[in-house]
Chain A
Amino acid sequence: MKRLCSLLLCLALLVTPALAVVAKPANGYVGDYAQVLDDDLERDMVQRDKTLFDSTGAAIVVVSVEFMDGLDAESYAYECFDQWGIGSEERNNGLLLVFATDDLNDAGLKKCWVMKGVGLESALSDSTLNGWLEDYFYDDFDAGDYDGAVEGFFDAAYAWMERYYAGTENTAPGGAYPEEERGSSFSLLGPLVVFTVLLIIAIVLVIALSSLFRGRGGYSYYNTYRPRARIVFWPRWRSRPRRPPPPPRPPDYRPHTGGGFHLGGASRGGGVGRSGGGSFRSSSHTSSRSVGHSSSFHSGGHSRGGGVGRR
């Protein structure tokens, strides 16, 4: 029995993948694993992030670690983004800042990286991110003032997010949001109406045509009998052609309904698009783009990698 348990334990250890990155922060926004950030700053950032997520689906996640487990900063950030799902699944508008306090790159500088979600690729350039790091982050970071560095970067990123999503002046729940996703913006309403009208016309035509071809006491839904010619005069000395027997009634047909309805985009590869759970779910209902409707976002945004920082 003991041997069996040991064997099972060994097997479990073998099949369990070793995670190179830290776990997603419990609060979802700030993970101070290196224990270098002030509690008040952390609380403030979490609160502001919650407000930001509820109103826009965006999230600015900050993570401090001591080491990056042998990975370069970009790979570490990508793994975090990929496994945690940052920002909303619907908009992929997460932003991740991860830095190490004791892990140096080849240039002898502490590693740090900023990575953005796919939904921000067109709006937020890498040059802008690089500017934030150079203007607000690097100096304090190199000097060991992690609070100053993080606060400066966070404020810059937060202000940008507010400005970006304030385009319609409706960032508060209940408002409409700018259409920042790329791709088609045409309305489906017109084609849908046309399609519905055509469908109704087609159904009416089918019913009308089927009633024309219906024989006496015939079966309109399964009529295969088509007389080749209408016989106007039939000599009395010939018997009428026998009407073929009616076809058997088809069995009842009930169309099978489809499967689930998915909110948000698909995930890529391993673990992308994982939901952050109920804690990030806004209490408001599903959105439309018109004013007066509030939205609910689900955590799980993904990134294509890239970003800026010190590898």
Chain B
Amino acid sequence: MVPIKSAKTALIVTVAVILAATLFGSHRSLNALRKDALAVLEQGEYGDGVGVRSDLARRGDVCANLCTVARNNGLGESDAYRRLSAQVEAFRAGELDAELEEPAQALMEALSGLPLSERDQRHLSNFQAELGSIRDTIRRDKYTQMAQDFNTGTLAAFPANLLSRLTGVRPLPVYT
């Protein structure tokens, strides 16, 4: 091991080491927080699979069923139907943040103006209930709180806001 003879060199090396350690350490810490939150997203707060991910999947299923009812009632060519079915396809392809809520509401409004059978009216009522319930559970889920705390609390504060940009730590997705 060659000793550093120059004080200036030693200072530069020290500063470089401190900077590297800071960046590396902050990247690790922020990513650890991120990873914890993503685990809750995937597996739920108690690791039982009941969480935002399952809620989003349920929403996708409800919207797909809504499209079916709409198609059965002659709305298969409508803009509202096309918008929702496109979003359902996108969701099924992996886009978790595909906008389903608003197109679904639009399609349900279109359906409610039609003379539906009793069965389809019940379906429509159930879809509305399900979508409303899903919206509530996502809003209250622990992942949503963790994501908001991480994005608006941790990442927004100095020096985490700077370090996250330097180390490429992205904010967490928030679903509604």
Contact = CB atoms under 8 A, between A and B. Distances in A.
Interface of A: 74, 78, 118, 121-122, 125-127, 129-131, 134, 181-183, 265-266, 268, 304-308, 311
A142 to B, nearest CB: 15
B50 A122 contact: yes
A254 to B, nearest CB: 34
B125 A134 contact: yes
B158 interface: no
B173 interface: no
Interface string B40-55: 0000011111100000
B123 to A, nearest CB: 9
A126 B50 contact: no
Contact of B48 (A127, A129, A182): A182
**Would you call the interface of chain A mostly helix, strand, loop, or mixed?**
loop
Contacts of A129: 129
Contact of B140 (A78, A126, A265, A311): A78
Given A126-B130, A268-B142, A306 B125 contact: no
B64 interface: no
17 contacts: A118-B46, A118-B48, A122-B50, A127-B126, A127-B129, A130-B130, A131-B126, A182-B49, A182-B50, A183-B47, A183-B49, A304-B50, A304-B141, A306-B134, A306-B136, A307-B136, A308-B132
B126 A266 contact: no
B133 interface: yes
B122 interface: yes
Interface of B: 45-50, 122, 125-126, 129-130, 132-134, 136-137, 139-142
A131 B122 contact: yes
Contacts, number: 56
Contacts of B139: 305
B140 A305 contact: yes
Contacts of A266: 46
Contacts of B134: 306
B97 to A, nearest CB: 20
Contact of B133 (A118, A134, A307): A307
A305 B136 contact: yes
Contacts of B126: 126-127, 130-131
A122 B51 CA distance: 11
A37 B126 CA distance: 28
The 10 closest A-B pairs by CB, nearest first: A306-B133, A305-B140, A127-B126, A306-B137, A130-B129, A308-B129, A306-B136, A126-B133, A183-B48, A304-B137
A122 B43 CA distance: 14
Contacts of A125: 130
A74 B136 CA distance: 8
A304 B133 CA distance: 10
A308 B48 CA distance: 23
Contacts of A311: 132
Q: Quick one: which of B46, B48, B133 has the most chain A CB within 10 A?
A: B133
A308 B137 CA distance: 11
A14 to B, nearest CB: 27
Contacts of A182: 48-50
A181 B125 CA distance: 28
A158 to B, nearest CB: 21
A127 B49 CA distance: 21
A78 B137 CA distance: 10
